[in-house]
Protein backbone atom coordinates (compact mmCIF):
# COMPACT_ATOMS: atom_id res chain seq x y z
CA UNK A 1 0.00 0.00 0.00
CA UNK A 2 1.42 3.46 -0.87
CA UNK A 3 2.69 5.66 1.91
CA UNK A 4 -0.06 8.31 2.49
CA UNK A 5 2.61 10.92 3.16
CA UNK A 6 3.79 10.50 -0.44
CA UNK A 7 0.45 10.94 -2.20
CA UNK A 8 0.86 14.68 -2.82
CA UNK A 9 4.36 14.27 -4.24
CA UNK A 10 5.31 14.10 -7.89
CA UNK A 11 6.19 10.58 -9.17
CA UNK A 12 9.92 11.36 -9.25
CA UNK A 13 9.68 12.67 -5.65
CA UNK A 14 7.86 9.56 -4.49
CA UNK A 15 10.42 7.42 -6.31
CA UNK A 16 13.77 9.26 -6.71
CA UNK A 17 15.13 6.50 -8.94
CA UNK A 18 12.28 6.96 -11.43
CA UNK A 19 13.69 10.31 -12.51
CA UNK A 20 16.73 8.45 -13.81
CA UNK A 21 14.79 5.62 -15.40
CA UNK A 22 15.76 3.13 -12.68
CA UNK A 23 13.39 0.63 -10.98
CA UNK A 24 12.26 1.22 -7.41
CA UNK A 25 13.78 -0.07 -5.27
CA UNK A 26 16.98 -0.03 -7.39
CA UNK A 27 17.68 -3.48 -8.74
CA UNK A 28 21.04 -4.87 -7.66
CA UNK A 29 22.54 -7.22 -10.22
CA UNK A 30 23.86 -10.50 -8.80
CA UNK A 31 27.64 -10.78 -8.62
CA UNK A 32 28.70 -14.08 -7.13
CA UNK A 33 30.82 -17.10 -7.99
CA UNK A 34 29.59 -17.46 -11.61
CA UNK A 35 30.43 -13.82 -12.31
CA UNK A 36 33.86 -14.17 -10.69
CA UNK A 37 34.54 -17.32 -12.69
CA UNK A 38 33.61 -15.64 -15.97
CA UNK A 39 35.81 -12.66 -15.15
CA UNK A 40 38.69 -15.02 -14.35
CA UNK A 41 38.14 -16.90 -17.63
CA UNK A 42 38.10 -13.60 -19.51
CA UNK A 43 41.36 -12.59 -17.80
CA UNK A 44 43.09 -15.87 -18.67
CA UNK A 45 42.08 -15.73 -22.34
CA UNK A 46 42.66 -12.00 -22.82
CA UNK A 47 45.94 -11.64 -20.91
CA UNK A 48 47.76 -14.83 -20.02
CA UNK A 49 47.16 -16.78 -23.23
CA UNK A 50 48.59 -14.11 -25.57
CA UNK A 51 51.48 -13.40 -23.17
CA UNK A 52 52.55 -17.04 -23.33
CA UNK A 53 52.22 -17.06 -27.11
CA UNK A 54 54.12 -13.79 -27.57
CA UNK A 55 57.04 -14.90 -25.42
CA UNK A 56 56.94 -18.39 -26.91
CA UNK A 57 57.25 -16.98 -30.42
CA UNK A 58 59.88 -14.42 -29.28
CA UNK A 59 57.84 -11.58 -30.79
CA UNK A 60 59.34 -9.09 -28.34
CA UNK A 61 62.95 -10.13 -28.91
CA UNK A 62 63.74 -7.53 -31.58
CA UNK A 63 62.20 -4.57 -29.77
CA UNK A 64 64.50 -1.63 -29.10
CA UNK A 65 64.58 0.24 -25.81
CA UNK A 66 64.75 3.59 -27.61
CA UNK A 67 62.59 3.15 -30.72
CA UNK A 68 59.55 1.29 -31.98
CA UNK A 69 58.55 0.28 -35.47
CA UNK A 70 55.51 -1.10 -37.23
CA UNK A 71 57.40 -4.34 -37.82
CA UNK A 72 57.91 -4.99 -34.12
CA UNK A 73 54.72 -3.42 -32.74
CA UNK A 74 51.93 -4.46 -35.12
CA UNK A 75 52.20 -8.27 -34.73
CA UNK A 76 52.22 -8.04 -30.92
CA UNK A 77 49.42 -5.49 -30.65
CA UNK A 78 47.25 -7.27 -33.21
CA UNK A 79 47.67 -10.55 -31.32
CA UNK A 80 46.74 -8.87 -28.03
CA UNK A 81 43.70 -7.22 -29.64
CA UNK A 82 42.56 -10.54 -31.12
CA UNK A 83 42.72 -12.39 -27.80
CA UNK A 84 40.89 -9.75 -25.77
CA UNK A 85 38.21 -9.60 -28.48
CA UNK A 86 37.97 -13.40 -28.42
CA UNK A 87 37.66 -13.43 -24.64
CA UNK A 88 34.92 -10.80 -24.80
CA UNK A 89 32.94 -12.78 -27.39
CA UNK A 90 33.24 -15.96 -25.30
CA UNK A 91 31.92 -14.38 -22.08
CA UNK A 92 29.18 -12.64 -24.06
CA UNK A 93 28.03 -16.04 -25.32
CA UNK A 94 28.20 -17.46 -21.80
CA UNK A 95 26.13 -14.58 -20.41
CA UNK A 96 23.83 -14.57 -23.47
CA UNK A 97 24.39 -10.86 -23.90
CA UNK A 98 24.98 -8.72 -27.00
CA UNK A 99 28.40 -7.11 -27.26
CA UNK A 100 26.67 -3.74 -27.03
CA UNK A 101 26.18 -4.40 -23.30
CA UNK A 102 29.95 -4.10 -22.98
CA UNK A 103 30.01 -0.91 -25.05
CA UNK A 104 30.92 -2.61 -28.33
CA UNK A 105 27.89 -2.54 -30.70
CA UNK A 106 29.15 -4.21 -33.87
CA UNK A 107 26.61 -2.39 -36.05
CA UNK A 108 28.33 0.86 -35.07
CA UNK A 109 31.86 -0.43 -35.64
CA UNK A 110 33.99 2.27 -37.25
CA UNK A 111 30.90 4.46 -37.57
CA UNK A 112 30.41 8.17 -36.93
CA UNK A 113 31.34 8.01 -33.25
CA UNK A 114 34.65 6.33 -34.11
CA UNK A 115 35.59 8.97 -36.68
CA UNK A 116 34.47 11.80 -34.41
CA UNK A 117 36.66 10.34 -31.67
CA UNK A 118 39.59 10.31 -34.10
CA UNK A 119 39.10 14.01 -34.83
CA UNK A 120 39.04 14.79 -31.10
CA UNK A 121 42.19 12.75 -30.42
CA UNK A 122 44.19 14.36 -33.22
CA UNK A 123 42.94 17.83 -32.25
CA UNK A 124 43.84 17.48 -28.57
CA UNK A 125 47.39 16.29 -29.27
CA UNK A 126 47.78 19.02 -31.90
CA UNK A 127 46.63 21.63 -29.39
CA UNK A 128 49.46 20.71 -27.01
CA UNK A 129 52.02 20.80 -29.83
CA UNK A 130 50.74 24.18 -31.07
CA UNK A 131 50.95 25.71 -27.59
CA UNK A 132 54.52 24.44 -27.20
CA UNK A 133 55.42 25.76 -30.66
CA UNK A 134 53.88 29.16 -29.91
CA UNK A 135 55.97 29.31 -26.74
CA UNK A 136 59.12 28.51 -28.72
CA UNK A 137 59.54 25.13 -27.02
CA UNK A 138 58.71 22.84 -29.96
CA UNK A 139 60.49 22.82 -33.29
CA UNK A 140 60.00 20.87 -36.51
CA UNK A 141 63.51 20.01 -37.68
CA UNK A 142 62.73 18.24 -40.94
CA UNK A 143 60.23 16.20 -42.94
CA UNK A 144 61.24 12.57 -42.77
CA UNK A 145 59.14 11.02 -45.55
CA UNK A 146 58.35 11.58 -49.20
CA UNK A 147 54.73 11.80 -50.35
CA UNK A 148 54.60 8.11 -51.28
CA UNK A 149 56.31 7.09 -48.06
CA UNK A 150 53.88 9.25 -46.07
CA UNK A 151 50.83 7.35 -47.35
CA UNK A 152 52.40 3.97 -46.60
CA UNK A 153 53.61 5.07 -43.17
CA UNK A 154 50.30 6.70 -42.27
CA UNK A 155 48.36 3.51 -43.04
CA UNK A 156 50.88 1.20 -41.37
CA UNK A 157 51.06 3.25 -38.18
CA UNK A 158 47.28 3.72 -38.32
CA UNK A 159 46.80 -0.04 -38.29
CA UNK A 160 49.31 -0.37 -35.44
CA UNK A 161 47.65 2.19 -33.21
CA UNK A 162 44.19 0.89 -34.03
CA UNK A 163 45.37 -2.47 -32.68
CA UNK A 164 46.82 -0.72 -29.61
CA UNK A 165 43.57 1.13 -29.03
CA UNK A 166 41.36 -1.93 -29.50
CA UNK A 167 43.51 -3.94 -27.12
CA UNK A 168 43.67 -1.35 -24.35
CA UNK A 169 40.06 -0.18 -24.58
CA UNK A 170 38.64 -3.72 -24.64
CA UNK A 171 40.97 -4.68 -21.79
CA UNK A 172 40.40 -1.75 -19.44
CA UNK A 173 37.04 -0.33 -20.49
CA UNK A 174 35.22 -3.34 -21.95
CA UNK A 175 34.05 -6.47 -20.14
CA UNK A 176 36.10 -5.75 -17.01
CA UNK A 177 34.46 -2.33 -16.58
CA UNK A 178 31.01 -3.84 -17.17
CA UNK A 179 31.49 -6.79 -14.84
CA UNK A 180 32.97 -4.86 -11.93
CA UNK A 181 30.43 -2.04 -12.29
CA UNK A 182 27.75 -4.58 -11.44
CA UNK A 183 29.39 -4.93 -8.04
CA UNK A 184 31.06 -1.56 -7.34
CA UNK A 185 29.06 0.83 -9.56
CA UNK A 186 30.50 2.70 -12.51
CA UNK A 187 32.76 5.43 -11.11
CA UNK A 188 34.32 3.28 -8.38
CA UNK A 189 35.18 0.75 -11.06
CA UNK A 190 36.45 3.54 -13.34
CA UNK A 191 38.89 4.61 -10.61
CA UNK A 192 40.07 1.02 -10.19
CA UNK A 193 40.63 0.21 -13.86
CA UNK A 194 42.23 3.63 -14.51
CA UNK A 195 44.66 3.06 -11.63
CA UNK A 196 45.61 -0.34 -13.09
CA UNK A 197 45.89 1.32 -16.51
CA UNK A 198 48.44 3.73 -15.02
CA UNK A 199 50.36 0.97 -13.22
CA UNK A 200 50.56 -0.99 -16.48
CA UNK A 201 52.54 1.91 -18.01
CA UNK A 202 55.09 2.17 -15.18
CA UNK A 203 57.59 0.01 -17.04
CA UNK A 204 57.58 2.22 -20.14
CA UNK A 205 61.05 3.45 -21.04
CA UNK A 206 61.38 7.21 -20.49
CA UNK A 207 58.11 7.62 -18.57
CA UNK A 208 57.84 10.31 -15.89
CA UNK A 209 55.48 11.13 -13.01
CA UNK A 210 53.33 13.51 -15.04
CA UNK A 211 53.16 10.90 -17.78
CA UNK A 212 51.78 8.29 -15.39
CA UNK A 213 49.31 10.83 -14.01
CA UNK A 214 48.32 11.54 -17.60
CA UNK A 215 47.69 7.85 -18.25
CA UNK A 216 45.45 7.60 -15.17
CA UNK A 217 43.57 10.78 -16.11
CA UNK A 218 43.22 9.55 -19.70
CA UNK A 219 41.68 6.33 -18.38
CA UNK A 220 39.13 8.38 -16.44
CA UNK A 221 38.46 10.51 -19.53
CA UNK A 222 37.84 7.39 -21.62
CA UNK A 223 35.43 6.15 -18.94
CA UNK A 224 33.59 9.48 -19.18
CA UNK A 225 33.40 9.06 -22.96
CA UNK A 226 31.88 5.60 -22.55
CA UNK A 227 29.51 6.81 -19.84
CA UNK A 228 28.17 9.60 -22.08
CA UNK A 229 28.22 7.88 -25.49
CA UNK A 230 27.32 4.36 -24.35
CA UNK A 231 29.94 2.94 -26.70
CA UNK A 232 33.66 2.20 -26.79
CA UNK A 233 33.99 3.34 -30.39
CA UNK A 234 34.44 7.03 -29.60
CA UNK A 235 37.26 6.28 -27.13
CA UNK A 236 38.84 3.77 -29.53
CA UNK A 237 38.99 6.41 -32.26
CA UNK A 238 40.34 9.08 -29.87
CA UNK A 239 43.00 6.73 -28.48
CA UNK A 240 44.21 5.60 -31.91
CA UNK A 241 44.38 9.13 -33.34
CA UNK A 242 46.19 10.57 -30.28
CA UNK A 243 48.92 7.89 -30.51
CA UNK A 244 49.13 8.23 -34.31
CA UNK A 245 49.54 12.00 -34.13
CA UNK A 246 52.10 11.77 -31.36
CA UNK A 247 54.32 9.04 -32.79
CA UNK A 248 53.91 9.21 -36.56
CA UNK A 249 52.69 12.67 -37.55
CA UNK A 250 54.54 14.98 -35.17
CA UNK A 251 57.41 12.56 -34.49
CA UNK A 252 57.46 13.11 -30.72
CA UNK A 253 58.52 10.49 -28.16
CA UNK A 254 55.88 8.20 -26.71
CA UNK A 255 57.07 7.21 -23.22
CA UNK A 256 60.65 7.61 -24.41
CA UNK A 257 60.20 5.68 -27.66
CA UNK A 258 60.52 7.30 -31.07
CA UNK A 259 58.70 5.82 -34.04
CA UNK A 260 60.78 4.49 -36.92
CA UNK A 261 59.44 5.91 -40.18
CA UNK A 262 57.81 9.00 -38.66
CA UNK A 263 56.56 11.85 -40.84
CA UNK A 264 58.16 14.77 -38.99
CA UNK A 265 61.44 14.96 -37.12
CA UNK A 266 60.87 17.31 -34.19
CA UNK A 267 62.55 18.41 -30.99
CA UNK A 268 61.68 20.28 -27.80
CA UNK A 269 63.67 22.80 -25.77
CA UNK A 270 62.67 23.69 -22.22
CA UNK A 271 61.85 22.22 -18.82
CA UNK A 272 60.63 18.63 -18.85
CA UNK A 273 57.51 19.42 -16.81
CA UNK A 274 56.38 21.73 -19.60
CA UNK A 275 57.68 20.00 -22.73
CA UNK A 276 57.32 16.42 -21.50
CA UNK A 277 60.99 15.64 -22.03
CA UNK A 278 61.68 11.99 -22.85
CA UNK A 279 58.04 11.05 -22.16
CA UNK A 280 56.81 13.22 -25.03
CA UNK A 281 53.71 15.44 -24.90
CA UNK A 282 52.04 12.99 -22.49
CA UNK A 283 54.64 13.96 -19.90
CA UNK A 284 53.84 17.67 -20.12
CA UNK A 285 51.62 19.47 -17.63
CA UNK A 286 49.85 20.80 -20.71
CA UNK A 287 48.55 17.28 -21.36
CA UNK A 288 46.68 17.34 -18.05
CA UNK A 289 45.16 20.71 -18.95
CA UNK A 290 44.15 19.31 -22.35
CA UNK A 291 42.41 16.35 -20.68
CA UNK A 292 40.45 18.67 -18.38
CA UNK A 293 39.41 20.76 -21.38
CA UNK A 294 38.43 17.63 -23.27
CA UNK A 295 36.33 16.38 -20.33
CA UNK A 296 34.44 19.69 -20.24
CA UNK A 297 33.82 19.52 -23.98
CA UNK A 298 32.61 15.92 -23.69
CA UNK A 299 30.20 17.04 -20.96
CA UNK A 300 28.79 19.67 -23.33
CA UNK A 301 28.80 17.52 -26.47
CA UNK A 302 27.23 14.48 -24.79
CA UNK A 303 25.13 15.80 -21.87
CA UNK A 304 23.14 12.61 -21.22
CA UNK A 305 24.30 9.56 -19.29
CA UNK A 306 23.84 6.40 -21.37
CA UNK A 307 26.07 3.72 -19.83
CA UNK A 308 24.36 2.47 -16.64
CA UNK A 309 25.77 3.11 -13.19
CA UNK A 310 25.16 -0.51 -12.20
CA UNK A 311 24.46 -2.75 -15.21
CA UNK A 312 21.75 -5.35 -14.70
Does the pLDDT of residue 19 top 60, yes or no?
A: no
Sorting pLDDT into bands at 50, 70 and 90, what band is 215? very high
> For 109-130, b where at least 16 C-beta lie within 10 A, e where not — what string?
eeeebbebbbebbbbbbbbbbe
Cα–Cα distance for residue pair 258/278, rounded to 1 Å: 10
With respect to residue 72, please indicate whether it lies within any of the assigned structural domains.
yes
pLDDT band at 284 (very low <50, low <70, confident <90, very high): very high
Q: Is residue 251 part of a domain?
A: yes
Q: Which residues contact 309 (CB under 8 A, 6 or more apart)?
A: 181, 185, 186, 187
Domains identified in the chain, total number: 1
Residue-level pLDDT at 27? 54
Domain assignment present for residue 143? The answer is yes
Q: Decide if 181 is inside a domain.
A: yes
d(CA 110, CA 107): 9
**22-26, 27-31, 75-79, 198-202, range with the lowest pLDDT:** 22-26
Residue 60 has pLDDT above 70, yes or no: no
**Mean pLDDT across the chain:** 88
- By the 10 Å C-beta count (0-12 exposed, 13-18 middle, 19+ buried), 153 is classed as buried
The verdict on residue 257 lying in a domain is: yes
180, part of any domain: yes
Predicted pLDDT at 5: 37
What is the band of 15 on the pLDDT scale with cuts at 50, 70, 90? very low
pLDDT at 129 over 90: yes
Domain that holds residue 127: 31-301
Tens-digit pLDDT profile for residues 62-111? 455 678 999 999 999 999 999 999 999 999 999 999 999 999 999 989 99
Amino acid 29: pLDDT:
56
Burial string for 279-291 (b: 16+ CB within 10 Å, else e) reads: bbbbbbbbbeebb
**264 assigned to some structural domain:** yes
Least confident of 20-29, 158-167, 209-218, 260-269: 20-29
- On whether residue 92 sits in a domain, the answer given is yes
Global pTM value: 0.87
The closest of 87, 67, 11, 2 to 248, measured between CA atoms, is 67
Amino acid sequence: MPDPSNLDLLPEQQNPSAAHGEPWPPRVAPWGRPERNRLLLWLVISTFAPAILIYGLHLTGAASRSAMSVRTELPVKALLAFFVALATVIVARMEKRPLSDYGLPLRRAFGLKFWEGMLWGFAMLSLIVLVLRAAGLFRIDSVGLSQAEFLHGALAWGATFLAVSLHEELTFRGYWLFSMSRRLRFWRTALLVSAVFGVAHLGNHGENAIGILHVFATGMLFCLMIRRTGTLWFAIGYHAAWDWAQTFFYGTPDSGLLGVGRFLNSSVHGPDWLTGGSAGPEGSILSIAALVLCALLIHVRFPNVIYPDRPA
